[in-house]
Amino acid sequence: MGAEQSGRLIIISGPSGAGKSTVVRELISQCDLPLTLSVSATTRAARSGEVHGKDYFFISQDEFSRRREAGEFLECKEVFGHGHWYGTLREQVASGLKQGQWVILEIDVQGAMSVLEHQEFNPITLFIDPGGMDELESRLRSRGSETEESITTRLETACAEMRYMHRYQYQIINGSVDVAVAEICQILKDQKETQSCSKS
């Protein structure tokens, strides 16, 4: 994959409920770079409004295991210890990079660490900080889709995930989506500039 690669890989992590999905969606629509989102596979059920093939590939546990054994995942993890698996499909990453796109992986910290271990992609890594645990809790509650148990698990996981924040090149506080998007877009443009300078 590495030799054919002409795009860039971008990893964005942060606790569930930190507003990552909104930031990523707005980034793709507002930032003037060839950004694309790698659509992951998951065994969790679709939330209301989520679309198969756009938000995730929603697949069964059996299909996930089969594709995992076939080596289709660049990384995959059981993210919340609730039996839900999430995985980055190699094909999503390879085809995007080959087309010169900047492929965004919106994945959890364990998945990010596992991609970094490959030392294959020289990814740009960003961590979205929700701006405090109270803020995170109120965002999770306002979704209205999480059970009490799920909220507790996600808050516990968030504490664990925040400990990895320093392993990322950039930490972005998501106080306002527009500000976070502008900040990330500028970081990526600066990286592009550095990349062109080092080639010339």
CA angle 157, 158, 160 (to 5 degrees): 65
146 versus 183: smaller Cβ distance to ligand 5GP: 146
* Binding to ligand 5GP in span 81-100, by CB under 6 A: 86-88
* Cα of 16 vs its chain's centroid, Å: 10
Q: Whole-number minimum distance, CB 194 to ligand 5GP, in Å?
A: 26
Q: How many residues bind to ligand 5GP according to rule CB under 6 A?
A: 14
Q: Which stretch binds ligand 5GP (CB under 6 A): 95-103, 106-114, 126-134, 191-199?
A: 106-114
Q: What does DSSP assign to residue 165?
A: G
Contact 92, 103 (CB under 8 A): yes
93 versus 188: smaller Cβ distance to ligand 5GP: 93
CB-based contacts of 137, cutoff 8 Å, min separation 6 = 17, 151, 155
Rule CB under 6 A: choose which of 24, 107, 124, 162 binds ligand 5GP: 107
79 versus 188: smaller Cβ distance to ligand 5GP: 79
Does residue 106 belong to the site contacting ligand 5GP (CB under 6 A)? yes
> Is the CA virtual torsion 39, 41, 42, 43 positive or negative?
positive
Closest residue to ligand 5GP, judged by C-beta, is: 111
Does residue 44 belong to the site contacting ligand 5GP (CB under 6 A)? yes
Q: How many CA atoms lie within 13 A of 73 on its CB side?
A: 21
119, 110, 53, 48: CA torsion to nearest 10: -160
Q: Whole-number minimum distance, CB 111 to ligand 5GP, in Å?
A: 2
* Binding to ligand 5GP in span 57-76, by CB under 6 A: 75
CB-based contacts of 96, cutoff 8 Å, min separation 6 = 7, 36, 38, 103
Binding site for ligand 5GP (CB under 6 A): 16, 40, 44, 75, 77, 79, 86-88, 106-108, 110-111
